Structure 1
């Protein structure tokens, strides 16, 4: 009888160890499945997380003249530009000098386009939104509008939140779509966390090879600021979309 009890205890112990081992392997697999896999692409001049299927860039006047047909045509091991965010406006009345050209040419080259506004926390959010609205005419197939907010300029957390909400509410009401917030991890955690978690997030984080260091869900990830692509003379920011093609299509304006 004692030997039988001992055998049962041993069997339970082995079963427990087996279960723990299986759970450990499963946890390892789930973790590694969600961690971006980087590879060096000399043609792009940077390491790229290749386990995302949709890649993009963002541009402004600093990239100067862009040959969008060349941008669209570049394809290295199935890494190809599928979307772009284009700077449209800044502050109360500034318009990017290359916006009109980029907006037209990206569409002509069949690169999915989106427009963004560079935000000043020291100024009215509503008036800044009106600057964007007066500049950007969105069409079917475009990405939602983007608020680029990266600095507080000494403004209090509450005031930043108030002005950001003014901007987002005005944009949402006018275009009928929920805007995207672009920012870096530290700014989001300090100024926006909890109050704006329902908005799609485009997060900048490229100082280490890992997924964005943020706990909430994100939609776009700016993983590099120094990429190269045919058709653009200067360095350019590279991004990925966190999803597949069907999820990307759902994000576009109808």
Structure 2
């Protein structure tokens, strides 16, 4: 092979290698772009307030960061318009055609100490959700809230509608039924008009008996409690924030029961139907020492 031929072959191979390298670079750029695009926040996740039309639910997790969960089409959606919510003195109302169609309430336990329920009623509060009792997260023992009897007696005498909630630490449907039976037995001495609520919250303690509860177990426990309450003639309800409702419960299996939804943002971004909204844990109400949870109820219960 002559020197000229060698040079021509050399240039040929340089051209081929350059072309291959260019193709490889372009392919790498395309792969990186696709991966970045997959990590971008879906556009629908930015839909404001009326998220019943959104296709994803966004949440933050301490370990995983931001989570995107597809909206389940089979679940009933809420139709609340945030523009119809008014706030005066920290108390929210929901209005339709200029008419208030909601009620506002507090939820309390012995943590609120001695409450002057006459002052609470005079301050514009319509209803009270009172903790009836709890199951210990370590021992599993069921006990009555220390101030339950005082609170329910005086709230009813002040003319408020009253519901109750039970702080559950049930680890099975059988334990949830036991809790419901306890609640029903206590309530036989009182006439309540608002729901009886299953409030199962995971306690992040080393000795918490609910640390490892699966979605299946939590859902079955909630359903067992609510069915028992309904069969006794009361209105059942369950309590959950967005993460718990979406990830820890199968809401399709709880569709027969009302949800008491917890979200401390000014505007909720939860697509599914709920009956009551706990919108702050920093409310102030005359007659209650310190801060108290406030709730907006969209559904008509009571008298």
TM norm. shorter chain > 0.5: yes
List per-residue Cα deviations over 1:132-184 (Å, max 9, x = no partner).
122223755521211112325211111112222221222222x2234011111
Equivalent residue number for residue 200 of structure 1: 258
- Alpha-carbon deviation of 1:93? 1.6
- Alpha-carbon deviation of 1:40? 6.1
Indicate yes or no: 2:264 matched with 1:234.
no
Equivalent residue number for residue 131 of structure 1: 182
| Rg larger in structure | 2
- Alpha-carbon deviation of 1:222? 0.4
Q: Secondary structure at the match of 1:209?
A: coil
- Alpha-carbon deviation of 1:49? 3.4
List per-residue Cα deviations over 1:7-45 (Å, max 9, x = no partner).
xxxxxxxxxxxxxxxxxxxx9xxx99543545463xxxx
Distance in 2, Cα, partners of 1:139 & 1:64:
21
Equivalent residue number for residue 252 of structure 1: 302
List per-residue Cα deviations over 1:34-87 (Å, max 9, x = no partner).
43545463xxxxx4434454211000000010000011112xxxxx10001000
Structure 1 residues 32 and 231, CA gap change in structure 2 (3 angstroms) = closer
Equivalent residue number for residue 146 of structure 1: 197
Equivalent residue number for residue 119 of structure 1: 168
Distance in 2, Cα, partners of 1:148 & 1:223:
16
List per-residue Cα deviations over 1:179-213 (Å, max 9, x = no partner).
0111111101112221112211111100x210x33
Distance in 2, Cα, partners of 1:138 & 1:201:
26
Equivalent residue number for residue 87 of structure 1: 131
Distance in 2, Cα, partners of 1:240 & 1:138:
27
Structure 1 residues 101 and 165, CA gap change in structure 2 (3 angstroms) = same
Compute the TM-score of the two structures, normalised by the length of structure 2: 0.62
Q: Which runs of 5+ in 2 are unaligned?
A: 1-49, 51-78, 136-140, 203-209
Pairing partner for 1:225 from 271, 276, 281: 281
Structure 1 residues 136 and 237, CA gap change in structure 2 (3 angstroms) = same
Q: Check whether the contact 1:57–1:81 (CA below 8 A) recurs between aligned residues.
A: yes
What does 1:158-169 correspond to in 2, within 5 Å?
158-169=216-227
Q: Check whether the contact 2:93–2:296 (CA below 8 A) recurs between aligned residues.
A: no
Structure 1 residues 129 and 233, CA gap change in structure 2 (3 angstroms) = same
- Cα RMSD of the aligned pairs, angstroms, is 2.4
Q: Which runs of 5+ in 1 are unaligned?
A: 1-26, 42-46, 75-79
Indicate yes or no: 2:79 matched with 1:49.
no
- Alpha-carbon deviation of 1:104? 0.3
Structure 1 residues 227 and 149, CA gap change in structure 2 (3 angstroms) = same
Q: Check whether the contact 1:182–1:204 (CA below 8 A) recurs between aligned residues.
A: yes
Compute the TM-score of the two structures, normalised by the length of structure 1: 0.73
